[in-house]
Amino acid sequence: MSIKKNESDFESQYFEDSHFSKLGGYDFLTRLNLWRPKKYRKLIMKHASSYHETLLDIGCAYGHFLELLKDDFEIHGMDVSNHAIKVARTRVKCNYKQGNLEKEGIPFSNSFDIITAISVIEHLKDPKKAIRVIYGHLNAGGLFCLEIPTISNKISAIIYKLFFSQDITHIYIPSVKEIEKVIITSGFKKIAWYSSLFPIFTKREKFVKDFSFIFGIFQKRGN
């Protein structure tokens, strides 16, 4: 089966007729697992400071995460999918722009205090380039928050196969060590990794490596 690579691969078919449809649909699955982005919001609020006011959600999809954050920050949304943005606009009002992070970068002229990328980096052929673009659009001391599936050992490989391998658009599945190195060498310092496969989040290294699905918070160094 060929790997999807184009913007058109993330239009309505991806959200409505792909592997998501076998599990009840993208919107249903997102609502069912809303406990996870709610936890992400709490962790972001825990590590954010009073000067963190603006937030860009890259890969905002149908806007569920932005809806949770709308009262906390001045929110902005970006997605490669025009279809997703149209749906997101019906859920929460903010400034949306369509764009391909790898090809055109971030289509906003301003920088942000926080940039989130939830289930985005695993879809990219050049994650290092994308993370450097994100770094360039963050204000000094800004936060980069991401969710990503990983394979660090045999246990996480089994979990990835069970829960995430059905999405053929996943083309970058690093170990925790690999993705951390890419982020840190791009100019960030690590705040924390959390295992986010189950409702009980933990920073314990063993669970972060074993349970594949992780959420990380990093801070931009320097100016």
Concatenating the DSSP letter of every residue in 179-206 gives HHHHHHHTTEEEEEEEE-SSSS-B--HH
Give the tens place of pLDDT for each residue, 39-84: 999 999 999 999 999 999 999 999 999 999 999 999 999 999 999 9
pTM over 0.85: yes
The parent domain of residue 154 ranges over: 7-220
Confidence label for 149 from pLDDT (cuts 50, 70 and 90): very high
Establish if 70 belongs to a structural domain.
Answer: yes
Mean pLDDT, rounded, of the chain: 91
Report how far Cα 26 is from the mean position of its chain's Cα atoms. 16
Dist. CA 213–CA 6, nearest whole Å: 25
As for how many domains the chain has, the answer is 1
pLDDT at 6: 56
Establish if 1 belongs to a structural domain.
Answer: no
Q: 66: buried, middle or exposed (CB in 10 Å: 19+, 13-18, 0-12)?
A: buried
DSSP, collapsed to helix, strand or coil, labels residue 162 as helix
Establish if 2 belongs to a structural domain.
Answer: no
Establish if 195 belongs to a structural domain.
Answer: yes
Q: Is the pLDDT of residue 178 over 90?
A: yes
Q: Minimal CA–CA distance to 197: which of 61, 68, 36?
A: 36
pLDDT at 14: 72
Establish if 203 belongs to a structural domain.
Answer: yes
Domain of residue 57, CATH code: 3.40.50.150
DSSP, collapsed to helix, strand or coil, labels residue 160 as helix
